[in-house]
Amino acid sequence: MARYKRMSKLYAPMLKEDPDEAVLASHKLLLRAGMIRRGAVGLYSYLPLAWRSIMKIENIIRDEMAKIDCQEMMTPILTDAELWKKSGRWNAYGPELMCLKDRYGHEYALGPTHEETYTDLVTNELKSYKQLPVMLYHIQDKFRDERRPRFGLMRSREFIMKDAYSFSANEESMRECYQLQKDAYASFCKRVGLKAVTVAADSGQIGGDTSVEFMAVADAGEAEICYCDACGYAADTEAGTGTIKVISDGEGDLEKVETPDCGTIEKLAEFLGVPTNATMKALALVAEDEQPYVLFVPGDHHLNDVKASHVFGNYYMMSDEEIKQYGLVKGFIGPVDISDKVKVYADESLKKAKYWICGGNEAGYHFRHAKQGRDFTIDNWADLVSVNEGDLCPKCGKPLKINRGIEVGQVFQLGTKYSEPMGATFTDEDGKEKPFQMGCYGIGVGRTLQAIVEQSHDEHGIIWPVSVAPYEVEVIPLDVKQGPVWDAAEKIASELAERDIDVLLDDRKERPGVKFNEADLIGFPYQIVCGKRGIKNGTVELKHRATGERKDVTLDEIVDTVVLPIEQQRT
Ligand code: ATP
Ligand code: MG
């Protein structure tokens, strides 16, 4: 028979104060709520409450994988160095690989990921195209000797990962497997209550991406992303493009205006009484091949280092000395009659601005109404700047948002990257031996748990989505002595448990304030408070953690009142 859990027996050592070791809200809350504990740097234990949530997250993964016929199994964590040498990663993986020797001197690595293991596993077992495709996965501890383990479960040295591997006979089948996993990941994020966007992790070849990252949107994320709420477009700001609004200066003849002390865009815009995106910013750099360049970008945008290095290689910004040496005037560089010692590039967005406000190539002067084609020409155009909040979505034209993201999962098309060097082949329809076309698919289970908390908390504590809450309901009797209050609470808890609800009964002899605070700190989605006065009238108080809404519900109705929405939110 289903039973409720008694809080007095729960191992959840809570903390009154924010622990020093934590920076992120989610990390503090998981520690304070008695859910996780650190053993050593980057090593965490999941205490019973967190473990229940982890199990729920894992079971949602299992359900999604079953739907696409990806089979769960288990391999050893310890991996033979020979396999890593075969794939070429024994040296390539670097110091993150945690290596050890057995008593006979044989080398192993604690698996940071398992491409080698799975590729080896199917070699000489999956022999014919007729058996393909096959998708396999496990949920297992992974080890990475991270340079800077931090943020609790976000970046630890031992962590739980779901990793799946697909084996196909051809690229088309590989892409199908990839798409199935990608869709399953999107569904997974939704079901665990994460607001997540997918970001292309590669340059995005024609015909679609070959790897995407699933980013939970959160200020605490390590990556900066731009995304469109309207159509779902998202990209790393390093790789993303937005349509930039630039303002052309008014029509007119080229005019040199005195602009004293206007060496910066802000000062210039203020002096002329125009917005910053009506001005052009000039940047002077020296490319990898030692060619000096001047770049023009919209005044309100920043040069993007990644994009710039695509064009200029390993470049550096000119020193004041070099600026002079190349015939330029710091703070007043413009394209009109620019020094012929430099080549000129401009950001693509500036094509749209016919008339420019730009530097006058003379200290204290700028040009107005400098017309493209008439007063100057730009020979080279490129996408050079980072996306700003409010730039327009390249897909649908709505304003983009900028936020940070936590990578919770990633899917890859691998092709024959592992199968070829490791000699993992099958016999194809045409009788030829071919290497498998592979894909790999990872979700960080612990990182997902913490990302959920990072997205869903308030000043009082965690707000668990029902689907992953350690307990869905907490019943809080304000009197735990034998009597009507206790009896009612006990009855509600029993009935909920029988209806398959995960329920905790706070049977401790604690002050009501302590019970309420701790219920909010741990973050149970529904809290049922049984007090003397209410019970006398045949009611209890139901509190919804997410909205803070409280209402009195009769004893007859309370079970149905919470069971129904919980069942709906579990899916
Ligand atoms: P990152 O760029 O954050 O280091 P990664 O791209 O190296 O991660 P993958 O190899 O793609 O990570 O691993 C799959 C998933 O495992 C990641 O999306 C992430 O959720 C999780 N993960 C990776 N490293 C860690 C870690 N040190 N601690 C916790 N989870 C991790
Ligand atoms: Mg990754």
> Whole-angstrom Cα distance, residue 422 to residue 414?
14
Determine the 3-state secondary structure of 501 from DSSP.
Answer: coil
> Whole-angstrom Cα distance, residue 119 to residue 121?
5
**255-382 belongs to which homologous superfamily?**
YbaK/aminoacyl-tRNA synthetase-associated domain (3.90.960.10)
155 lines ligand 1 (CB under 6 A): yes
211 lines ligand 1 (CB under 6 A): no
Of 197, 256, 234, residue with least CA distance to 409: 197
**pTM of the complete model:** 0.86
What would the two tokens of residue 124 be?
Answer: 């000489």
Measure 7 CA to ligand 2 centroid, in angstroms: 38
Q: Which one is the CATH code of 5-10+471-570: 3.40.50.720, 3.40.190.10, 3.40.50.800, 3.40.50.261?
A: 3.40.50.800
The CATH code that applies to domain 48-205+406-454 is: 3.30.930.10
Of 491, 411, 422, 522, residue with least CA distance to 47: 522
DSSP letter for each residue of 334-357: -STT--TTSEEEEEGGGGG-SEEE
What would the two tokens of residue 180 be?
Answer: 């199935």
The per-residue pLDDT string of the chain (571 residues; one tens digit each, 9 = 90 and over) reads 679 999 999 999 999 999 998 999 999 999 999 999 999 999 999 999 999 999 999 999 999 999 999 999 999 999 999 999 999 999 989 899 999 999 999 999 999 999 999 999 999 999 999 999 999 999 999 999 999 999 999 999 999 999 999 999 999 999 999 999 999 999 999 999 999 999 987 654 445 678 999 999 999 998 889 999 998 888 888 778 889 999 999 999 999 999 988 888 999 999 999 999 999 999 999 999 999 999 999 999 999 998 999 999 999 999 999 999 999 999 999 999 999 999 999 999 999 999 999 999 999 999 999 999 999 999 999 999 999 999 999 899 999 999 999 999 999 999 999 999 999 999 999 999 999 999 999 999 999 999 999 999 999 999 999 999 999 999 999 999 999 999 999 999 999 999 999 999 999 999 999 999 999 999 999 999 999 999 999 999 999 999 999 999 999 999 999 999 999 999 7
Domains of the chain: which residue ranges? 5-10+471-570, 48-205+406-454, 255-382
What's the burial of 306, exposed, middle or buried (CB within 10 Å: 0-12/13-18/19+)? exposed
How crowded is residue 527: how many other Cβ atoms within 10 Å of its Cβ?
23
With the most atoms of ligand 1 within 8 angstroms of its CB, the residue from 161, 192, 441 to mutate is 161
> Whole-angstrom Cα distance, residue 201 to residue 216?
15
DSSP letter for each residue of 118-137: HHHHHTTTS-BGGG--EEEE
> Whole-angstrom Cα distance, residue 282 to residue 329?
11
Strand partners, 190: none
Measure 444 CA to ligand 2 centroid, in angstroms: 9
What is the number of the ligand 1 atom nearest to the C-alpha of 448? 20
Number of H helices, E strands in the chain: 14, 32
With the most atoms of ligand 1 within 8 angstroms of its CB, the residue from 61, 197, 447, 452 to mutate is 447
Enumerate the H helices of 12-47 as residue ranges: 25-32
526 lines ligand 1 (CB under 6 A): no
> Whole-angstrom Cα distance, residue 101 to residue 273?
70
451 lines ligand 1 (CB under 6 A): no
Measure 45 CA to ligand 2 centroid, in angstroms: 23
What is the number of the ligand 1 atom nearest to the C-alpha of 409? 18
- Output the residue whose Cα is nearest ligand 1's atom 19: 444
